Each structure stands twice: as C-alpha cells, then as structure tokens.
A and B are shown apart, each in its own frame.
Chain A
Amino acid sequence: MGYLGRIWHGVATTAVGMKLTWRHFFTKPTTIQYPEEGAYFSPYERGLHEFEPDKCISCQLCAKACPVDCIEIVGPKLAVTKYEIDYAKCLFCGLCVDPCPVDCIHMGQQYDLTSFERVEGTKIDFVKGEGPWRTARTSAAPGAGLQREV
C-alpha cells in the first residue's frame, strides 16, 4: 500500500471499529449488579459440601476416593462423632460424592468461601457444625435454569 493508501486504510478501519463501538454504546450492558441480582447457579454446582450425619454409616468410601485424603471420619455406624473435611486441601472434584452408598454427602451451592472474620483453620466438622463458612444452604432446586440470551 502506498503512502496515501496507508493513511486511507488507517482512517477507514478506525472508522469501522468506532462504528462498532458506537453501536455497542447503545446496547444494554450484560453485566449484573452482583450482590443484589443473584448470580447463576448450576443445579450440579460443586460448592461447599452438605452432609447428613444421621445417614452416614462411616464406611470410609468417600475418604478412600478422595485424591488428597482430606476427609476424616470417626465414630461407629449411624452415630458418627466426627466428619471433618480440610478445605485447604480439598479440590472440589466431587469424587467423594459418587461412592457413598447412602447418599449422605453432597456438594452444595455455596461457592463463595470468603468470610469476614479471621477464622483459625480451614477444617469444617460437619457433625458438630464448627468451622468457617458454615451455612445452611442445601442444593438448589434442579429447576435453576440457564441464563437467557441478553
């Protein structure tokens, strides 16, 4: 391209680009006001675990299935005294949910692991309910649908 050609090409492509951004200026933004408008939830979200102590038969299958051995179960069948997951090591991979014969361990919807106070340790004991980020969230209704095209 000659000298004038480059100038013309520069101005023309700039104009094309700016026409596009002009059109974008008038389209509705796709972002949402996060805390007020809820974020999207997948029905199979792999967030913080949810555990029903009374159903657990302490068969250690989930502890064996965990790649990082971060589950610790103490206590006899149907009377588990301690079911502790160390969230410093947990990968949130969901391998502990599959082998459970009585389906007492699920991964919930709580993915936001921030907390306002400096809590010692990252272990949650689900039987006693101690530890950080303890929430009563249960799995979202399967109907939590997908975000529609904006």
Chain B
Amino acid sequence: MTDATNPSAARGLPADPAPPADPVTALAARKLAERFPGAVVEQALSGRHPYLRIAGDRIVQVCTFLRDDPDLAMDCLHLVSGVDWPAKTPAEGPGSIDVVYHLVSYATRPDPAYRKAALKNDGFVVLKVRVPRDDPEVPSVMGVWVGADWHERETYDLLGVRFTGRPPLRRILLPEDWPGFPLRKDWDYPVEYHGIPIIPPEGR
C-alpha cells in the first residue's frame, strides 16, 4: 500500500516534484539493510507517511537495534496499531492484517527542512508487519519497550493479533468472554451479550 498519490495530483493540479525522502526513515532503512539484510521487505521513504515493512520473525532484533543505535535512539514505542485488510475476493486467500509500530526518539529533533516539504511533522520511524488474517501471530516487542504490553493487549483485543513470547495475552478493553474481534471488517454484531440486546447501527 504505497502512498503513491499526493493531494495536489488528486485535485488536477500539476503533480508535486517527487517529495524528498524522510531523513530518519532513510537512515534507518540504510542501517537495517547493512545489519539485517533481508529484514526490510519493502520501504516507502518519501511522502506523508514513510514506513518500512519488516519480516515478521525479525521484528524483535530490528526493534532492539533501532532502540540501541546511538544516532537513531528510538527509545519510545509511541503506538502499536492493527489495520485489517480483508481479501477483496475469496480467491486472493485469507487477506492480511498490518501490525504498525510507530517509534519515536526523544533524543533527536525532527529536521525542519524535511518537515516543511512533506508536511510530516517529526522524526518517526514506522515499522509495518504483515500477518495472514486467519492466523495472525507476531513476536512481542515487550522485551524491547515494556510499554508495549497494553498496546499489544489492545491490538489482540480488537483485532485478534496474537503476540508470542510475552506474559499471557488477555483482553484489555472488552470483557473476557466477548465474541470475536470487533475491529475486523467482517465482524458481525452478536444478537445479545449476557441478555443485553445489541442493536447494530443501520449501515449506510
């Protein structure tokens, strides 16, 4: 899901010149290419939301490296979120879920020049991990940032992504015995929960 179009092209104006690459993400991509060849499956370095897609099983090594490397120093996991991409047609297989990690560093200041050009406001490194939709499993990064615990539990709770190698996953927002994972696109509303009828909003 590269971010190909940019706003002015959508409104028929002459397309902007290719936006510059985000320095922080570019630096991270280069370093990762050296240290862990093959870890970065796909990268989009420019535009409003540059990201690096990482192979699922290498995520913990990559995160540890990004946190400990002096000039990147990604010492804070800002957010872990899941984005559900169900398959358009059943032929395409089960579809996938993107687990998106937003890492930020409080040591480095964002580069003002880049920010003006690409409307991206600060030195984020975004890692994406694609997992199959029917058996979503990702190694947990709780070992790298202890704050990931609640974020991972929420992603499991709402999207059903199981994180391995961490204390047992439990639902954080929904009650323990809530059926299914609500944020999945194909989640249908249960008729009632413990006797309380659930009236689904009229779809539009």
| A interface residues (Cβ-Cβ under 8 A, vs B) | 68-69
Contact = CB atoms under 8 A, between A and B. Distances in A.
Contacts of B202: 69
Nearest to A89: B201
Interface string B188-204: 00000000000001100
A20 to B, nearest CB: 38
Interface of B: 201-202
Contacts of A69: 201-202
A147 to B, nearest CB: 38
A105 B202 CA distance: 24
A68 B201 CA distance: 8
Contacts of A68: 201
A69 B202 CA distance: 9
3 contacts: A68-B201, A69-B201, A69-B202
A68 B202 CA distance: 9
A64 to B, nearest CB: 9
Nearest to B202: A69
A64 B201 CA distance: 14
B189 to A, nearest CB: 16
B195 to A, nearest CB: 20
A69 B201 CA distance: 9
A69 B200 CA distance: 12
A76 B201 CA distance: 27
Nearest to A64: B204
A69 B204 CA distance: 10
B198 to A, nearest CB: 15
A36 to B, nearest CB: 43
A69 B203 CA distance: 11
A5 B154 CA distance: 50
A54 B90 CA distance: 53
B196 to A, nearest CB: 15
B199 to A, nearest CB: 10
A68 B199 CA distance: 13
A66 to B, nearest CB: 11
Contacts of B201: 68-69
A148 to B, nearest CB: 41
A96 B202 CA distance: 18
A69 B199 CA distance: 13
Nearest to A68: B201
A96 to B, nearest CB: 16
B160 to A, nearest CB: 27
A93 B121 CA distance: 30
Nearest to B204: A69
A138 B105 CA distance: 54
B200 to A, nearest CB: 12
Going nearest first, the 3 A-B pairs with the smallest beta carbon separation are A69-B202, A69-B201, A68-B201
A65 to B, nearest CB: 12
A150 to B, nearest CB: 42
A18 B105 CA distance: 46
A150 B27 CA distance: 59
A14 B202 CA distance: 61
